Amino acid sequence: MTLDSKVPAGPIAEKWDRHKFQVKLVNPANKRKHTVIIVGTGLAGASAASALGELGYQVLSFCIQDSPRRAHSIAAQGGINAAKNYQNDGDSVYRLFYDTVKGGDYRSREANVYRLAQISVNIIDQCVAQGVPFAREYGGLLDNRSFGGAQVSRTFYARGQTGQQLLLGAYQSMMRQVDRGNVKVFARREMLDLVVVDGKARGIVVRNLTTGELETYAADAILLCTGGYGTVFYLSTNAVNSNVTASWRAHKRGALFANPCYTQIHPTCIPVSGEHQSKLTLMSESLRNDGRVWVPKKKGDHRPPNQIPEDERDYYLERKYPSFGNLVPRDVASRNAKQVCDDGRGVGESGLAVYLDFKDAIGRLGRGVIESRYGNLFQMYEKITDENPYEVPMRIFPAVHYTMGGLWVDYNLMSTVPGLHVLGEANFSDHGANRLGASALMQGLADGYFVIPYTLGHYIASTPLPKVSTDAEPFKEAKASVQDRINKLLAVKGHRTIREFHRELGRVMWDHVGMSRNAEGLQRALTEIPKLREQFWHEVSVPGTPDNLNQSLEHAGRVADYLEFAELIALDALERGESCGCHFREESQTPDNEALRDDEHYSYAAAWGFNGVGQRPTLNKEPLTFEEVHLSQRSYK
């Protein structure tokens, strides 16, 4: 398949404006006649629903949670980037664009990233107008902080709850459209299949999670805004209901899946405390602005941290990266934490943690300042670990956090199935091989508020879309296949819990497809995953019935999809023989153990086509060309 990215011609700074002019428009009176299904109510989904509702489309909005306001975006803490240059510190659209392409280790599509940087400016305006209570300076203007290694202060934030406040803004705008009758919300619904009619995405099958009923809905276009697949690792910072199911089933219906191996490991999470754990907690990256990361110089040094003298501590990030210090990008910070732990210098009971120490910052700024900056994070840390981070250094360890990979989309955010658009974390588009801090919220809202209203209109205006009814054959077929899978899950009646399989899959993924990968480990994963899948379908116990709320059944369905999808991640990781961004192949590193890119062979997005479970998928390549940004080896020394 040749992948047409549909990037408009012209100089990069003009592409989007030209495109906006060239797209076809839908007559205002006709918008009412078009139905759009939006799956997901995170930043991407809620913003798209409100924007399209405002334009007059009939929007059907679906989410798993009991309320659209609870989508996983709500958990984002740190902030959202925008090239406002309010701080007069040299920021610009071009710089945000440049930083994002570089931060993504030159594995993203330039034109998309530029558009994202352009739009970032409007996002802040829109959110402020909605009443989002961003942090302010004493003079009443918006406050910014520097975040995740950026050398300018371009991050807007609302205490430690930026995601929540942005999502509430989008959710409220969407509920306004509910009030006006343009948006209908279907909460507690899980999309389990995509319906393709005459080659176009025309509907979905969802399970009503309260009644267990399978429902079908038809529309003129489908928007998947279903978030990332970090929970394939079992333990991650993602909300426990996050899943790949919607994307995966769309993939099975023909949508290509791009760069699944690009998974981001966040350096500052609370370490695992035991087998029972079901979820890891992120400690905002902003902590690295004031905290210093260290481990003991000696291996196996079990003294309490405060008894280890200064000269026996190794502030390894400051030592190795003098110019960025503790603020190196996420992938670099995570990998270094793993290295020192592999080296036997990790701390805490498990030896899988490093210290993040605020002693110097408290000494320099006073406890009050630290408290005002990070009070709620410190409190959360204490609640979970029962340790007081004002007195003893925090223990942190990397954890899976974000997935840059996702369904392949063109410049219009449309997948390879016509009519199926993919927004937010669920698509692969803008972050390349590594996402910069505070850029996911920006992307979700850019896609939903400012991109899709134009590109979707173009699709609808330029495509013949005869009415379809949910009685049509493809709907019946899709519904029957979903029913079949549910029956199969319930029929296994084994004795192992779903969680056991999920945990086991997570272990395989973390060990072999985690922070540091090599051919041998990936091969092992590729043999272990199908085995585990086989066992799952013979030994899993899914109690209960399908005709009411059955959380075991929900979880089982998601794990079953992960057991298929995980193979694709491993294969993609194996196929990509270079290191780039978060994808670190041990075979491809510089003499001082930094990631080594191979632009000659791997400067492409890998978009995989489904050929059946257990069958080798087809690799399609979208070549990445860089006209603006000069490719260089990233260095944060």
Ligand X SMILES: Cc1cc2nc3c(=O)[nH]c(=O)nc-3n(C[C@H](O)[C@H](O)[C@H](O)COP(=O)(O)OP(=O)(O)OC[C@H]3O[C@@H](n4cnc5c(N)ncnc54)[C@H](O)[C@@H]3O)c2cc1C
Active site residues: 330
By CB under 6 A, is residue 243 in contact with ligand X?
yes
CB atoms within 10 A of CB 576: 24
Least Å distance, CB 44 to ligand X, is 3
By CB under 6 A, is residue 26 in contact with ligand X?
no
By CB under 6 A, is residue 166 in contact with ligand X?
no
| Angstrom distance (rounded) from CA 158 to CA 230 | 25
Residues 38, 80, 513, 573: which binds ligand X (CB under 6 A)? Answer: 80
| Angstrom distance (rounded) from CA 518 to CA 516 | 7
Least Å distance, CB 288 to ligand X, is 13
Binding mask 420-439 for ligand X (x = CB under 6 A): ----xxx-----------xx
Residues 108, 120, 164, 238: which binds ligand X (CB under 6 A)? Answer: 238
Structure tokens at 114: 């530029």
Closer CB to another protein, 384 or 613, in the complex: 384
Cβ atoms 33, 56 nearer than 8 A: no
Closer CB to another protein, 519 or 549, in the complex: 549
By CB under 6 A, is residue 79 in contact with ligand X?
yes
| Angstrom distance (rounded) from CA 379 to CA 377 | 5
Task: List the single partner that 426 binds among ligand X, another protein, none, CB under 5 to 8 Å by kind.
Answer: ligand X
Residues 7, 23, 39, 362: which binds ligand X (CB under 6 A)? Answer: 39
Considering only residues 531-570, where is the footprint of ligand X by CB under 6 A?
Answer: none
| Type and span of the H or E element at 398 | strand 394-403
Cβ atoms 299, 345 nearer than 8 A: yes
Residue 43's Cα: distance from chain center in Å?
12
Task: List the single partner that 62 binds among ligand X, another protein, none, CB under 5 to 8 Å by kind.
Answer: ligand X
Closer CB to ligand X, 159 or 496, in the complex: 159
By CB under 6 A, is residue 44 in contact with ligand X?
yes
By CB under 6 A, is residue 588 in contact with ligand X?
no
Task: List the single partner that 444 binds among ligand X, another protein, none, CB under 5 to 8 Å by kind.
Answer: ligand X
| Angstrom distance (rounded) from CA 244 to CA 234 | 12
Least Å distance, CB 162 to another protein, is 11
Phi-psi region of 521 (alpha: psi -120 to 50; beta: other; left: phi over 0): alpha
Question: Which candidate, 117, 41, 98, places its Cα nearest to that of 626?
Answer: 98
Cβ atoms 333, 289 nearer than 8 A: no
Residues 50, 162, 164, 165: which binds ligand X (CB under 6 A)? Answer: 162
Cβ atoms 246, 562 nearer than 8 A: no
By CB under 6 A, is residue 522 in contact with ligand X?
no
Residues 8, 36, 37, 40: which binds ligand X (CB under 6 A)? Answer: 40
CB atoms within 10 A of CB 493: 11
Least Å distance, CB 543 to another protein, is 5
Stretches 128-136, 235-243, 310-318, 486-494: which one binds ligand X (CB under 6 A)?
A: 235-243
23, 359, 636 from 102: Cα distances, Å? 30, 33, 11
What is the torsional sign of CA 40, 42, 46, 51? negative
| Angstrom distance (rounded) from CA 365 to CA 385 | 25
Least Å distance, CB 268 to another protein, is 14
Task: List the single partner that 45 binds among ligand X, another protein, none, CB under 5 to 8 Å by kind.
Answer: ligand X
Q: List, as one string, the DSSP characters of 517-563.
A: B-HHHHHHHHHHHHHHHHHHHHHB---S-TTS--HHHHHHHHHHHHH
By CB under 6 A, is residue 218 in contact with ligand X?
no
What is the torsional sign of CA 9, 10, 11, 12? negative
Task: List the single partner that 224 binds among another protein, ligand X, none, CB under 5 to 8 Å by kind.
Answer: none
What is the torsional sign of CA 117, 121, 122, 127? positive
Least Å distance, CB 403 to ligand X, is 8
Task: List the single partner that 63 binds among another protein, ligand X, none, CB under 5 to 8 Å by kind.
Answer: ligand X
Stretches 43-51, 130-138, 195-203, 596-604: which one binds ligand X (CB under 6 A)?
A: 43-51
Residues 440, 559, 560, 629: which binds ligand X (CB under 6 A)? Answer: 440
Closer CB to ligand X, 225 or 261, in the complex: 225
Closer CB to ligand X, 23 or 377, in the complex: 377
Task: List the single partner that 577 binds among another protein, ligand X, none, CB under 5 to 8 Å by kind.
Answer: none
Closer CB to ligand X, 98 or 186, in the complex: 186
Q: Which residue has the tokens 């023909």?
A: 254
Closer CB to another protein, 20 or 252, in the complex: 20
Structure tokens at 119: 């739009």
Stretches 133-141, 242-250, 373-381, 384-392: which one binds ligand X (CB under 6 A)?
A: 242-250
Closer CB to another protein, 108 or 226, in the complex: 226
DSSP state of 72: G
Q: Helices 110-129 and 93-103: crossing angle, nearest 10°?
A: 120
Least Å distance, CB 470 to another protein, is 24
User: What's at 37, amino acid-wise?
Assistant: I
245, 421, 442, 482, 488 from 207: Cα distances, Å? 12, 21, 31, 9, 16
Q: Which residue has the tokens 């509430």?
A: 168
For ligand X, the nearest residue by Cβ is: 42
Task: List the single partner that 541 binds among ligand X, another protein, none, CB under 5 to 8 Å by kind.
Answer: another protein
By CB under 6 A, is residue 153 in contact with ligand X?
no
Considering only residues 104-133, where is the footprint of ligand X by CB under 6 A?
Answer: none
Stretches 29-37, 39-47, 131-139, 367-375: which one binds ligand X (CB under 6 A)?
A: 39-47
By CB under 6 A, is residue 169 in contact with ligand X?
no
For 301, the 3-state DSSP assignment is coil
By CB under 6 A, is residue 305 in contact with ligand X?
no
Closer CB to another protein, 54 or 285, in the complex: 54
CB atoms within 10 A of CB 631: 13
**SS3 of the chain: helix, strand, coil, percent, to 5:** 40, 15, 40
Alpha carbons within 13 A on the beta-carbon side of 396: 32
Considering only residues 173-192, where is the footprint of ligand X by CB under 6 A?
Answer: 189-191
| Angstrom distance (rounded) from CA 624 to CA 602 | 9
By CB under 6 A, is residue 445 in contact with ligand X?
no
Cβ atoms 596, 579 nearer than 8 A: yes
Closer CB to ligand X, 156 or 602, in the complex: 156
> Sheet harboring 189-197: ordered strands across?
189-197, 200-208, 214-218
By CB under 6 A, is residue 42 in contact with ligand X?
yes
Closer CB to another protein, 421 or 583, in the complex: 421
77, 290, 403 from 268: Cα distances, Å? 13, 13, 16
The footprint of ligand X (CB under 6 A) covers 39-45, 62-65, 71-73, 75-80, 162-163, 189-191, 225-228, 237-238, 242-243, 245-246, 282, 401-402, 424-426, 438-441, 444
